[in-house]
Amino acid sequence: MEGVAPAVSLFRPRASARPTIVLAENSGSARRSPGAGGRSRGVSRLSPEMSPGGASRRMSKLRKHGSREAEAAARSGITRVPNLGTAVSTKRAGMSKDTVINLDVSHHRAVAVVRLLRIEKGKAFVDLLNEKANDSGEKEIGYVERTLGFSTRYLDDRDIRLVTVIVAGTVRWKRYLDYLIMSLCSEEKVFREMEPLLLQILRIGFFEILKLDVPAYAAVDENVKLAKVALRPGAGNMVNAILRKLVLLKETDSLPLPKIEGDDRAQARALSIIYSHPVWMVRRWIRFHGKDEALRLMNWNNSDPHFSLRVNTSKGYTRADLVKRLESLQVHYEESVMDGFVRIQEGMQAVLQAGLLKDGICAVQDESAGLVVSVVDPQPGETIVDCCAAPGGKTLFMASRLSGEGKIQALDINKGRLRILMDAAKLHGLDDIITDIHADLRLYAKETTAKYDKVLLDAPCSGLGVLSKRADLRWNRQFEDLEELICLQDELLDSASMLVRPGGILIYSTCSIDPEENEKRIAAFVQRHPEFAPQSVCGYVPTEFITDEGFYSSNPTKHSMDGAFAARLVRSSH
C-alpha cells in the first residue's frame, strides 16, 4: 500500500503515563504499578465476585443502577467485571486515571482479536500500525478495554509484529478458516449463530496452528484463556474442544477440505476455499490467465508482503546512504531493479524507530508505482497535474525528478488526504514545487482553462494487483464494483484529457491486473478521442515490463512486485 507504513509509536508508554491496576487472575490480586509518583504501594485483594457466580451478581448490581459500563459489557458478551474497590474506577480507557490490566492473557492476542472485530464491523483497517495517527496506540488500548473489559500493557516491537502478522494472516485466510471451523462444529447452526468475539478467537487459534506453526499447546492454552476471560468459562471450553479437534486432524493429516472436481463453477468454489479468495475473483482469473497462473496469483496474495523504500534524492540522499543506514540497523535488504529503491521483508519497525521516514530520508513506495512515474518521465521545467493524487507517493516521486524546476498540481477530491500529501511534501522539501487543488476532477476540468504538459490519471480501481499488501481488500470487492469502476474510469479519462495541451501527454495508470480496467479502457478511450494516440513505453521502463501493445504492466508472480498498468497517450498538436 503506497505511502503507508507501520509506526513504532503504537503501544509505547508516554512520559505522563497514568497509573495502572494490574490484574493477575491466577493470584487473585491487583497491584498498582509504579506511576509518576514512584514505587508501588502494597496489594489489594480482589473481591470474591471475580468468580463466575460473583461476576453475575456484580453485573446484576450494575444493571440495577443503570450502569453504562454494564450495558457496554453486556453488548460485548462480557460477563466478568472485576470489583476493584472504591479506590479504582471501572471506567474505560480515555475516561479514567487508572487502567485495568489483566496479566493472565496473551496481550498481543487480545489486541489482535479486538482489531479483527473492528475490521469485521467495517470500523478499522488491517494495517493496525498507522503512522499518521500519533495517538493510535492509546486508541487501540481503549478499544481493547471497552470490548474485553480489561486493558493490555504497552506492547513492544515483537508484540506489534505478532499483532500485524496475526491480523493480516487471519483476514487473508478467513474463508479457509471459516470452512474448517464450521466443519469442526457439532452442527452448522452452531457456527452460523456464533458470537462474533468467539469466532475471532477461534480464527486466531486456527491460523496460529495451521499457518504460523505455533506450538499446539500454546495456541490452545492461550486462546482458551482469552475466551474465558473475555467471554465466560463455557466459551473457553468450546474453544478448547474445537482447537484440540483441529490439532488431532492436523497431526493425522485428515483436515476436511473440498475436492477440486465437477464443472468450472464447482472447481472455482473449491479453490476459493482452499486458497481463501472470493469465488468471482477465482473464476475471473482462471478465465483471463488460466488455472495455473490463477493459483500462482492466489499464493502470492497469501504470502507475507515485502516493502520497498525509495530514497529521497531531493534532499541529497543516495541509495548508498539508505543502505548504510539499513546495515547499521541490521535490517536485511535487497537492491531493486529501480535506482534509488531497496526492498525489505522484515525490519520496518526498526526503520521507523530510527526516524528514516520522519526525517525525510526515504519513503515507502512499491517499485511498480515507481515504474509508473518512469512512464510519466517528468522533466525539469514541465507543468504536470496528478489528477487523483492522494496519498501522494507518485506526486512526491515526480516532484523529486524535476530538479527544482517545474510545477506539479496535486488534485484530489479528498481534502484530508490532500493535507497529508502536503505535509509529506514539506517533509521531503518539495512544497515549493507541489501545490494542491481540492476538487472533483470532472468539475475542475470543465471549469478551468489550464493546460498541462503532462497529465497523470492514476485512476480509482479494483486494486487487484495489490492484494498481498491489502489483506482485507479481497473481501471488500464485489464483481458489481468492477462495472461501477469501469464507468468512473471512463468519466475520469474523458475529464483528464481536457487538461492536456496540444502535443502534451496523458498517462493512465491503475494498480489492477484486470484487462477490463486497463487495455480495454485505453481502446475505448481512443475510439472516443481520436485526437489521442497511444505511444509505446519503450525506453521508459525495462523491456520485461512492456506488453505487446506497448503498455507498461507489472505482474506479481512474474516480477515479484505489485501489479500495475500504465499507458502513454499523445495529444495531436492541432
Write the burial class of residue 263 (CB in 10 Å: 0-12 exposed, 13-18 middle, 19+ buried). Answer: exposed
Cα angle value 21/163/30 (rounded, 5°): 15
Name the nearest CA neighbour of 282 among 307, 262, 259, 301: 301
Residue 567 main-chain phi, psi, to 5 deg: -135, 140
**369 is an annotated ligand-binding site residue:** no
Q: Which of 185, 362, 461, 511 is catalytic?
A: 511
**17 is an annotated ligand-binding site residue:** no
| Chain Cα centroid distance, residue 412 | 21
Cβ partners under 8 Å of residue 560, min gap 6: none
**416 is an annotated ligand-binding site residue:** no
Task: Return the C-alpha cell found at 27.
Answer: 493470584
**459 is an annotated ligand-binding site residue:** no
**390 is an annotated ligand-binding site residue:** yes
- Going by their DSSP bridges, the two strands 307-311 and 362-364 should be labelled as antiparallel
Task: Return the C-alpha cell found at 341.
Answer: 529503491
**394 is an annotated ligand-binding site residue:** yes
| Coil vs helix vs strand at 498 | coil
Separation CA 557–CA 299 (nearest Å) = 9
In 17-163, the DSSP E strands lie at 20-24, 29-32, 43-45, 99-102
- According to DSSP, residue 385 is labeled E
Alpha-carbon torsion (411, 417, 421, 426), positive or negative: positive
**393 is an annotated ligand-binding site residue:** yes
**234 is an annotated ligand-binding site residue:** no
**28 is an annotated ligand-binding site residue:** no
**440 is an annotated ligand-binding site residue:** yes
- According to DSSP, residue 334 is labeled E
Exposure string of 126-158, with b = 16+ CB inside 10 Å and e = fewer, is bbbbbbeeeebbbebbbbbbbbbbbbbbbbeee
Please indicate whether residue 511 is annotated as part of the active site.
yes
Separation CA 475–CA 462 (nearest Å) = 12
Q: Are 2 and 391 in contact (CB under 8 A)?
A: yes
Q: Known catalytic residues?
A: 511
Binding residues: 388-394, 412, 440, 458
Binding residues for S-adenosyl-L-methionine: 388-394, 412, 440, 458
